[in-house]
Amino acid sequence: MNQLAEELNSILANTAAGRLLSEMGRRMYFPKGILTQSAEATEKAYKYNATVGMAYEHGEPMMLDALKEALPGLTPKEAVAYAPTGGIMPLRLRWKESLYRKNPSLLGKDFSMPVVVPGLTAAVSYLTDLFVEPGDTVVVPDLHWPNYRLIIEERKTAAGLTFPIFANGGYNLEGLSARLREAGSRRGKAICILNFPNNPTGYSLTSQEADKLVATLVAIANEGTDLLVIADDAYFGLQYEKNLLEESIFARLVDAHQNILAVKADGPTKEDYVWGFRVGFVTFGGKGLTEVQQDALVKKLLGITRSAVSSSSGLAQHLLLKALEYEGYEEQKARYRAILEGRYRALKSAISQAKLPDSFIPLPFNSGYFMSFECRGFSAEQLRIRLRNNHGSGTISMQDKYLRVAFSSVEEEDIPDLLDKILLVVREIEPNS
C-alpha cells in the first residue's frame, strides 16, 4: 500500500470513517507528484513555468476565437484552463458558506470543505468507491433513483436492501430501521442513502419525521453499528408545504453520534437550474472528526476523482461562481421556485377534484419535481405507452407498477389537461372500468 494511503489511514484510525472505508478507500490517496509540483511552480516560478500541461501564449492559456466570441465574459483561465482536482477554491468556499446559510442547524458545527465532483451521479459513485465493498448492502427505499441500482449492484457488485417507502401515509421509518439493523448485523456497518425531496415520489420528511429519523439512526449507532448516511440533496430547497424539513438531514447528523459518518451530496443542478453543468459537491461531517481527519477523507476523495476524471469542468465552475455572485441571484431563484410550486399546486388541485379509480392511487408528495401514481391490477408500462402513442404525452413507468409524472416540465395551465389524458387511458385499461 502506498505510504500516503497508510498515513491517511493512520489519521482515520479509531473513527467510524476509518472503519467504514472499503478496500479501495483504504488504498486511496492524493498523489504529491505533478499536481503538487505545478502548484509550487505557479507560486514561485517567477520566470518560466514549464510544469503545466497546457499551451500558453503571452501568459494566458491559448483560446480559440470562436470560444472567445461565445464566452465574452470569461478570461481564458476561466474558460479553458484545467480546474484543480477538488474544484476552484473560491467556489468551494462560497458553497461551504451557503451550506451554513441554507441549513441553520449547521451553525456552530464543523464539517469538511466541499469537494467538487462532476455531478451527483459521480458523487454517489465515488462515495461507493470509498466505502462500499462487494457483498455489502446499501439501504434505499423501494422507490428510488434508478441510477442507485446501476452504481450499487452493477459497478460495486453490492446489494441494494430496499423497504417500502411509505407506511400509514408517511415515510416508513420502521422499514428503514429494520433494514439498517439487518445490514449492521452482517458486517458491523450499515450504509444508507436518504434522498429528500425523493425522486420519484416528490416526498420530503415532515419536521416530526426528521426528528424521529435522527433518533432512529442514533439508536442504531448506540448499538455499536457504524453508519454511513449519504444525504442525496439533488432537489434541495424545493418544499411546498408547511412543517416540512427544509434543510438537509446532513445538518442534523454531523454531530449526532461518533459512529455516524454523514456525507452531503448536492450541487447546483436543480438548485440553480444548470442541469448540464455536471458540477456537484461532496461534504463530510461526523461527531468528533477533527479538521485533520476531515482533510484525510477529502484527500481520499481527491484520489478517487483524480483517478477517474482528473478534475471537473473549470468552465462550468467559473460560470456557477459568477451566478452565485450575481446581483439578483436569490430573487431569480425564488421566481423559478414559485413557478414550480404553482405547477405542484395545480396538480394537487387537479387530483383532488378528479374522480380517480380505486386502482390508481397518488402516492404522498409535497415537494421536488415529481409525483407518482401506483397502478393496481394493470400495467404502468402499458399506460405509459398508450399515453405517448395516443395522446402525445410522456411519462415514466417504474417496475410496471408506478407511473411518475414530472410536473416540473409541464406549464401550470396544461397540468389539468395532462391529468385528464392520464385518467382517460387509465379508464381504458383499468380492469374494473
* pLDDT at position 44: 61
Do 267 and 334 share a structural domain? Answer: no
Do 297 and 189 share a structural domain? Answer: yes
d(Cα 185, Cα 191) in Å, to the nearest integer? Answer: 12
Do 284 and 346 share a structural domain? Answer: no
Do 337 and 421 share a structural domain? Answer: yes
Domain for residue 267, yes or no? yes
Do 337 and 315 share a structural domain? Answer: no
CA-based torsion, 248, 250, 253, 254: positive or negative: negative
Q: Total domain count for the chain?
A: 2
pLDDT in tens, 343-393: 999 999 999 999 999 999 999 999 999 999 999 999 999 999 999 999 999
Domain for residue 64, yes or no? no
* pLDDT at position 413: 97
Question: Where in the sequence is the domain holding 420, given as residue range(s)?
Answer: 330-429
* pLDDT at position 57: 86
The three state secondary structure string of the chain is CCHHHHHHHHHHCCCHHHHHCCHHHHHCCCCCCHHHHHHHHHHHCCCCCCCCCCCEECCEECCCHHHHHHCCCCCHHHHHCCCCCCCCHHHHHHHHHHHHHHCHHHCCCCCCCCEEECCHHHHHHHHHHHHCCCCCEEEEECCCCCHHHHHHHHHCCCEEEEECCEECCEECHHHHHHHHHHHHHHHCEEEEEEECCCCCCCCCCEHHHHHHHHHHHHHHHHCCCEEEEEEECCCCCCECCCCECCCCCHHHHCCCCCCEEEEEEECHHHHCCCCCCCCEEEEEEECCCCHHHHHHHHHHHHHHHHHHCCCCCHHHHHHHHHHHCCCCHHHHHHHHHHHHHHHHHHHHHHHHHCCCCCCEEECCCCECCEEEEEECCCCHHHHHHHHHHHHCCCCEEECCCEEEEEHHHCCHHHHHHHHHHHHHHHHHHCCCC
Closest by CA position to 258, among listed 289, 293, 283:
289
Do 162 and 147 share a structural domain? Answer: yes
Do 271 and 391 share a structural domain? Answer: no
Global confidence as pTM: 0.94
C-alpha dist (Å) from residue 51 to 89, 308, 374: 21, 22, 58
* pLDDT at position 51: 72
* pLDDT at position 184: 93
- Of the three residues 269, 298, 324, the one that is the final residue of a domain is 324
Domain for residue 305, yes or no? yes
pLDDT in tens, 200-225: 999 999 999 999 999 999 999 999 99
Domain for residue 153, yes or no? yes
- Of the three residues 324, 357, 376, the one that is the final residue of a domain is 324
- Of the three residues 283, 298, 324, the one that is the final residue of a domain is 324
Query: Which cell goes with 326?
Result: 450575481
* pLDDT at position 53: 84
* pLDDT at position 56: 86
Do 418 and 311 share a structural domain? Answer: no
Domain for residue 110, yes or no? yes
Do 385 and 357 share a structural domain? Answer: yes
Domain for residue 48, yes or no? no
Domain for residue 115, yes or no? yes
The one-letter amino acid code at 154 reads E
Do 189 and 221 share a structural domain? Answer: yes
Domain for residue 60, yes or no? no
Do 134 and 8 share a structural domain? Answer: yes
Each residue's pLDDT, cut to its tens digit, for the chain (433 residues) gives 899 999 999 999 999 999 999 999 999 999 986 556 666 556 565 566 777 788 888 888 998 989 999 999 999 999 999 999 999 999 999 999 999 999 999 999 999 999 999 999 999 999 999 999 998 999 999 999 999 999 999 999 998 899 999 999 999 999 999 999 999 998 899 999 999 999 999 999 999 999 999 999 999 999 999 999 999 999 999 999 999 999 999 999 999 999 999 999 999 999 998 999 999 999 999 999 999 999 999 999 999 999 999 899 999 999 999 999 999 999 999 999 999 999 999 999 999 999 999 999 999 999 999 999 999 999 999 999 999 999 999 999 999 999 999 999 999 999 999 999 999 999 999 777 5
Do 393 and 335 share a structural domain? Answer: yes
Return the CATH number at 380.
Answer: 3.90.1150.10
